[in-house]
Structure 1
Amino acid sequence: MFAQEDMFSNIFQEGQSVIVHYVVLASGLVIETSSTVIRIQCDLLMTGEPSRKNLVLFLKGAARFSGEVENRDLYIRYFEERGVKSIALPPLSYSVAYENESLLYEALNNVNAYSGLIVTSKRALLLLQLVIKKLEEHQVKKILSTPLYVVGPSTKLAAEKLFFIDCRGGHSHNAQALAEYILSSSSATSSPFLYLCGNNHLRTVSVKFASKGYLLEEIISYKITENEGFKEKLKALLVQEAISHIVFFSPSAVSFSLPVLLQFIGKGVRVGAIGKTTSSSLADANVRVDFEAQAPQPTALFNSIKSHLWPE
């Protein structure tokens, strides 16, 4: 990469008058004059701001546990392909709630008593998968044909890999949207729904259901704790690196990070979130949300943040 001034002095002779139009692509800068089109391989440029001034911190992902396959580099790759450096720091650690295995076994052994199963995270599927393997074949067939309501396409895909044949609500991006979908697409019955959730889940689904007279049973199928050494690693990052933007991927990430982040937020660091639920958690903590991605996808996040990366 060479300086912009040197680049243009090598292209145009001194005193030459030209009309210049330019288009920025991920692969470089395209300069069009009245007589020719010149392609220059360079870093992604927008409104003259070099990408090195932006360093985005993703508070996402978690320490993995057996059975989970997670592409944690997807966001980093997407941003760096567009000239934006980013790093990820996992705030959370997940573990299967093995202590509730017998409770879930008993419930699934009587799955006909439920109107459907609800899963808002693919991590909840791990205990479900473990229990299914221990049930009789005829009972497994009943479970796999029971309506399974899920949040997001990744959870839907994970459920289908377990051979669930009636997955619904995969278009929903959060628990509130899924709850609203269930309430609008099914009639209230005397049979409850079985909700497989985490230990610190928000009460969104249960409150929505109660307001409409729907019954809900909850079984904790996975546990969320703070990743070991997270606060120390986060503080070191914020001190040593020139972080320009921080993105929160979950309400839990907000709660575990705030004691450290409040010392740095507002000092030129912009804050963003994935989804309305995480944005609300930040707002409740009196943290201004500068940008919000409407869906948990790299494209949606990049579209929400790019005006802050390259302000006009």
Structure 2
Amino acid sequence: MKRVLILKSESDSSEIYASLLAENNFEAVFIPTLGFGFKNLEELRGKLLAPEKHSGLIFTSPRCVDAVQSALQGAPLPEQWKELHNYCVGEVTHNYIKSCLDGLNSLGKESGNANNLADYIKEQFEGNKSLPLLFPCGNLRTDALLVKLMDAGFLLDACEVYETIPHPDLAENLSEALKAENVEFIAFFSPSGVNCCYEYFTKNNVNLTNKKLIAIGPSTRKSMENKGLTVYRTAEKPSVEYLIKVLLNPDGAAPTASENGTKDE
């Protein structure tokens, strides 16, 4: 069985990843790359308690959902948010929102990345543009979504609610995982995860020439290429189905930037 290093934290979707990969003769090994620290939660709480001052919410990761849940301090999300225009990136984030925030529905889960979500919002939004969309985000966010929506006349209330740091056990876990001889693939899930792992690779002179490096999404691919890492293939969206598509049928997967231009998230 071929081993795939999954460079992301285990989550509600981890069992699905492990199960579906095993069905296709791949062993998934999860290595958390990032740690997080929340901040500005009182500021976020004030905004969450004033839905009448916003046109909706934007979530680009499960961590943003965690921040909202922490800011609410056990209280339910005000019901009025359910009547507004709420958006998210990815199936995992969509499901996490529903489970953590009292069944709140969000649109755009199929967008795959923040850049595509901005396009989706521009096409689908039918609300009041004079009120801002609340956007809880991290310190390493890209500005593509903000710029694209603001250029289209939207107001955004971006609230930085968490900081990203390397996971404290990253070096130890990577060292142990790379000892196995059957590691053929390494899947990177975020630009910040790439940065953390690259620091370990260079510091420890890790030879990656015999590994097939997979990028999950265009922004991750771009980050890998900027570090000089050779991208084997790119999974179009952050889901296990797209990852398996790359593993089983690389020639039918999305081409790397060198083959088909570069996309920004």
Question: Is residue 51–residue 78 contact of structure 2 (8 Å, CA) maintained in 1?
Answer: no
Q: Does 1:225 align with 2:173?
A: no
- Secondary structure of 2:62's match? coil
- Residues 249-292 of structure 1 deviation map (CA, whole Å, 9 limit, x = unaligned): 11111010012335335421111111122111112222121111
> Of residues 78, 82, 85 in structure 2, which corresponds to 1:144?
82
- Secondary structure of 1:290's match? strand
Report 1 or 2 for greater relative contact order, CA contacts < 8 Å, sequence distance ≥ 6. 2
Shift in Å, 1:130: 3.9
Question: Is residue 85–residue 125 contact of structure 2 (8 Å, CA) maintained in 1?
Answer: no
Tell me the residue number matched to 2:231.
289
Tell me the residue number matched to 2:107.
168
For 1:106, give the aligned amino acid. Answer: G
Give the distance between the partners of 1:169 and 1:83, measured in 2 at CA: 32
Shift in Å, 1:247: 0.8
Tell me the residue number matched to 1:157.
95
Q: Does 1:258 align with 2:231?
A: no
Give the distance between the partners of 2:13 and 2:209, measured in 1 at CA: 31
> Of residues 27, 30, 34 in structure 2, which corresponds to 1:92?
34
Relative to structure 1, the CA distance from residue 291 to residue 223 in structure 2 (aligned partners, 3 Å threshold; closer, same or farther) is same
Give the distance between the partners of 1:121 and 1:143, measured in 2 at CA: 18
Q: Does 1:61 align with 2:9?
A: yes
> Of residues 15, 30, 37 in structure 2, which corresponds to 1:73?
15
Tell me the residue number matched to 2:240.
298
For 1:175, give the aligned amino acid. Answer: A
For 1:151, give the aligned amino acid. Answer: V
For 1:55, give the aligned amino acid. Answer: R
Written as runs of structure 1 = structure 2, the 5 A alignment for 1:32-51 is 51=1
Q: Number of residues paired by the alignment?
A: 247
Question: Is residue 134–residue 158 contact of structure 2 (8 Å, CA) maintained in 1?
Answer: yes
Q: What TM-score results when the alignment is normalised by the length of structure 2?
A: 0.81
Written as runs of structure 1 = structure 2, the 5 A alignment for 1:194-213 is 194-213=134-153
Relative to structure 1, the CA distance from residue 71 to residue 157 in structure 2 (aligned partners, 3 Å threshold; closer, same or farther) is closer
Relative to structure 1, the CA distance from residue 126 to residue 229 in structure 2 (aligned partners, 3 Å threshold; closer, same or farther) is closer
Give the distance between the partners of 2:72 and 2:189, measured in 1 at CA: 30
Q: Which stretch has the larger CA shift, 69-78 or 168-177?
A: 69-78
Tell me the residue number matched to 2:263.
none
Larger radius of gyration: 1
- The alignment's C-alpha RMSD in Å is 2.7
Unaligned runs of 5+ in 2: 251-265
Relative to structure 1, the CA distance from residue 233 to residue 167 in structure 2 (aligned partners, 3 Å threshold; closer, same or farther) is closer
Shift in Å, 1:125: 1.8
Question: Is residue 61–residue 92 contact of structure 1 (8 Å, CA) maintained in 2?
Answer: yes
Question: Is residue 146–residue 166 contact of structure 1 (8 Å, CA) maintained in 2?
Answer: no
Q: State the identity as a percent.
A: 26
Tell me the residue number matched to 1:37.
none
Give the distance between the partners of 1:211 and 1:146, measured in 2 at CA: 22
Q: What TM-score results when the alignment is normalised by the length of structure 1?
A: 0.70
For 1:256, give the aligned amino acid. Answer: C
Give the distance between the partners of 2:28 and 2:95, measured in 1 at CA: 27
Tell me the residue number matched to 1:273.
215
Question: Is residue 60–residue 93 contact of structure 2 (8 Å, CA) maintained in 1?
Answer: yes
Question: Is residue 92–residue 224 contact of structure 1 (8 Å, CA) maintained in 2?
Answer: yes
Question: Is residue 293–residue 300 contact of structure 1 (8 Å, CA) maintained in 2?
Answer: yes
Q: Does 1:248 align with 2:196?
A: no
